[in-house]
Structure 1
Amino acid sequence: MILLNIAFYAFIAVVTIQVIYYLFLFSKFAFLHPKHETQKNIAVSILICAKNEADNLKKFLPYILNQEYPDFEVVLINDNSHDDTLEIMEEFATKHNNIKIVNVLPTEAFFGNKKYALTLGIKASKNEYLLFTDADCKPNSKYWLQEMSAHFNQTKSIVLGYGAYAKIKNSFLNKIIRFETLLTALQYFSYAKSGIPFMGVGRNLAYKKEAFFNANGFINHMQVRSGDDDLFINQVATNKNTSICFTKESFTISNPKTTFKDWLLQKRRHVSTAKHYKAIHKTLLVLFYISQFLFWTLAITLLITTYSWQIVLPLFLLRLLIFYIIFGKTSNKLDEKDLIIFLPFLEIFLIGMQLTIFITNLIAKPKYWK
């Protein structure tokens, strides 16, 4: 009885924390309307780092090259590929004079380090404004470059975009991947709107070359295999220099993993970088995850035992209602509306998977970006 009493008051505290996150933080993005900025027509360099991506380059590079934009180059970085990646790059380069190829050879000091390859690509780029995506990404429209670059101005040197994953019908894994991506976007867009930006995704990210060199590039976290996107943004982004772009024309669509094993390996690399975030970001992210975990654990325990259910059930439904409102708005904004009906199940499953990933990373750490 004493334990249930403790659980009851803990549940009230957890619901309060969750409501604060959703109403005072995540609502900043959920209720925000996308804004089409005036086209700037600034010269932009698009950077794509590819490792064994011959098939994806053949499939998706034409969408990059066919962007409706007056002045851009495409810097293709071959990171020591073992397939026909370099040959495909060279074939495209013979047909398009705005392609520049950077062929990265293996070095013992930087073996398997994407940041080293990206650094060489950034140095080789000719333009001040840089837009990053991956070889398996397809712009959602021919105005992707126009939309992303329009958010640069005299004070904004970083633009955070949305990198979605393609939908696969009747796939639970695909729904999990897209829900996790949706939750991550809700967080980094909301934090940015709150003046405490903490990350971006390399599938759709832009910043000025000046910002890169002023921060000495990736030098502060070069030893961390992942984090060319989130750790760099965590280091340099501020409430003054960061903008967000989430018009549907600005999305990129990537190929999702199709097996749980591959997805877990990918997420292990991503999660391993979080411990290097600034203290305020780590605190806020950990508190949110713990409150998520405890909300479901305590709610299920208290409802099964019917302990003070007259109070527990309304609080449970209140949090669930707010959760649905925020995610409903966000899902509509980011074109993930088919996830809405599955939201509670996806959240519970993802909480369990994140706990598994955290424990696995404590035992063995992932080493290479591919």
Structure 2
Amino acid sequence: MLQILLYVFIGIIAIQLFYYLIVFGKFAFAKAQKITPKRIPISVIVCAKNEEENVKKFIPLLAEQNYSDYEIVLIDDASSDETLEIFEAFQRKYSNIKLVKVKNNEAFWGNKKFALTLGIKAASKEYLLFTDADCYPTSKDWILNMSAQFTMHKTIVLGYGAYEKIKGSFLNKIIRFETMLTATQYFSWAKMGKPYMGVGRNLAYKREEFFRVNGFIDHMNVRSGDDDLFINQAAKARNTTVCYTPDSFTVSEPKQNWKDWFKQKRRHVSTAKLYKGFDKFQLTLYYFSQLSFLLLAILLLAFQFQWMIVGGLVIFRYLSAWITLGYAAGKLKEKDVIYWFPVIEIILIFTQLNVFLTNLVSKPVHWK
């Protein structure tokens, strides 16, 4: 039996190396990205619900971008706080701000996709750039960098949405590592011609892509997924590219306790079951290989069965993963989290298992 498990373990190692060296290597070992600025008219779209504190801080950063032809479409999704009043004040201050007021609708109560649809229809520019109300760009050249990736054929741009660093917080390292790993996955698969998701914190596409797939209509009943489900449906090898220049990043405040982070994880994971068949398969295979690697390594080493071979394979796998993710983390300015890779990986493996089991018995809470 142990001999059979060793063969299975070798197969799992081969799967892991395929992901880390071949798939993730597509992004990790890619050359630094250079941009050729384009003056494409851009509509920056921000949807907010009860975000008065965040919009006070971050909307001025959007209004001060070094870009000549853009508007900001602010969508107030029936907020019960002062968000709408703050938006109205910004509209009076900045001439390029357009305000969309969403009233509660019985058919789409609390549905962010309905609010976003109204904002997209109200936008006057053909190229749309999205971020969240709790996000801010890392530079005044955010629009310039993201828009530079558009071409005649590349009409969807996947960007990176980072989280703020909190000194002394191990949870913060876990969150940022997972965010870096997720970005490495969707950037890499996009480079391989198999784009499957993006994040609404930093995402751009031409408006025709939205209407080509009838917007969010196929998953309007699913509260989350205005970013990943839309990209999973609309993105193809021919129309999708990525942007990972440091000036193209956005940043948002991370969760600061385990309970809130776990709830957020549940929301994010709940949409993956609606991905295309191949995308669900590759994500499941990657997670299965991670879990199997860990369990089989512990079992075989516990019995000291062919321990030199097993130990060598474990070391080789960790070195390969560490190097690949180290290069990816360097591109995404997250190098400090990579030192904790072995520990964080184990925590994430069992957190994901917990999220999956919890989502089986209860539905996660979505848009405010």
The bucket for the TM-score relative to the shorter chain is over 0.9
> Aligned-pair distance for 1:5?
2.9
The answer to whether the aligner puts 1:69 opposite 2:67 as a matched pair is: yes
Farther-moved stretch of structure 1 (258-267 vs 328-337): 258-267
> Aligned-pair distance for 1:257?
0.6
For residue 6 of structure 1, what is the amino acid of its counterpart?
A: I
Taking the aligned partners of 2:139 and 2:336, their CA distance within structure 1 comes to 21
Map residues 68-147 of structure 1 onto 2, 5 A cutoff: 68-147=66-145
For residue 162 of structure 2, what is the amino acid of its counterpart?
A: A
Task: Give the TM-score taking structure 1 as reference length.
Answer: 0.98
CA RMSD of aligned residues (A): 0.9
Taking the aligned partners of 2:114 and 2:35, their CA distance within structure 1 comes to 33
Which of 254, 261, 269 aligns to 2:252? It is: 254
Taking the aligned partners of 2:33 and 2:330, their CA distance within structure 1 comes to 15
> Aligned-pair distance for 1:37?
2.2
Map residues 221-236 of structure 1 onto 2, 5 A cutoff: 221-236=219-234
What per-residue deviation string (whole Å, max 9, x for no partner) do you get for residues 39-64 of structure 1?
A: 11111000001011110001111111
> Aligned-pair distance for 1:303?
1.4
Residue 93 of structure 2 aligns to a residue whose secondary structure is: coil
Which of 236, 239, 242 aligns to 2:240? It is: 242
For residue 253 of structure 1, what is the amino acid of its counterpart?
A: V
For residue 280 of structure 1, what is the amino acid of its counterpart?
A: F
> Aligned-pair distance for 1:267?
1.2
Taking the aligned partners of 1:137 and 1:264, their CA distance within structure 2 comes to 20
Contact kept? 2:172, 2:256, Cα under 8 Å: yes
Runs of 4+ in structure 1 deviating by more than 3 angstroms, as ranges, are none
Which of 340, 348, 363 aligns to 1:342? It is: 340
Task: Give the TM-score taking structure 2 as reference length.
Answer: 0.99
Farther-moved stretch of structure 1 (297-306 vs 126-135): 297-306
> Aligned-pair distance for 1:367?
4.3
Give the % identical residues.
59
**Residue 48 of structure 2: aligned partner:** 50
**Residue 15 of structure 1: aligned partner:** 13
Residue 109 of structure 1 aligns to a residue whose secondary structure is: helix
Number of aligned pairs? 368
Residue 107 of structure 2 aligns to a residue whose secondary structure is: coil
For residue 57 of structure 2, what is the amino acid of its counterpart?
A: K
Taking the aligned partners of 2:165 and 2:303, their CA distance within structure 1 comes to 39
Taking the aligned partners of 2:286 and 2:30, their CA distance within structure 1 comes to 21
Taking the aligned partners of 2:293 and 2:351, their CA distance within structure 1 comes to 16
Stretches of structure 2 that go unaligned for 5 or more consecutive residues are none
What per-residue deviation string (whole Å, max 9, x for no partner) do you get for residues 80-107 of structure 1?
A: 1111100110111110011111111111
Taking the aligned partners of 1:49 and 1:274, their CA distance within structure 2 comes to 23
Contact kept? 1:269, 1:369, Cα under 8 Å: no
For residue 151 of structure 1, what is the amino acid of its counterpart?
A: Q
**Residue 312 of structure 1: aligned partner:** 310
Taking the aligned partners of 2:312 and 2:366, their CA distance within structure 1 comes to 47
> Aligned-pair distance for 1:36?
2.2
Taking the aligned partners of 1:281 and 1:99, their CA distance within structure 2 comes to 38
Taking the aligned partners of 2:72 and 2:238, their CA distance within structure 1 comes to 28
For residue 71 of structure 2, what is the amino acid of its counterpart?
A: E
Taking the aligned partners of 2:94 and 2:261, their CA distance within structure 1 comes to 35
Contact kept? 2:73, 2:99, Cα under 8 Å: yes
**Residue 263 of structure 2: aligned partner:** 265
Residue 94 of structure 1 aligns to a residue whose secondary structure is: helix
For residue 154 of structure 1, what is the amino acid of its counterpart?
A: M
Stretches of structure 1 that go unaligned for 5 or more consecutive residues are none
Taking the aligned partners of 1:141 and 1:367, their CA distance within structure 2 comes to 33
Taking the aligned partners of 1:263 and 1:302, their CA distance within structure 2 comes to 34
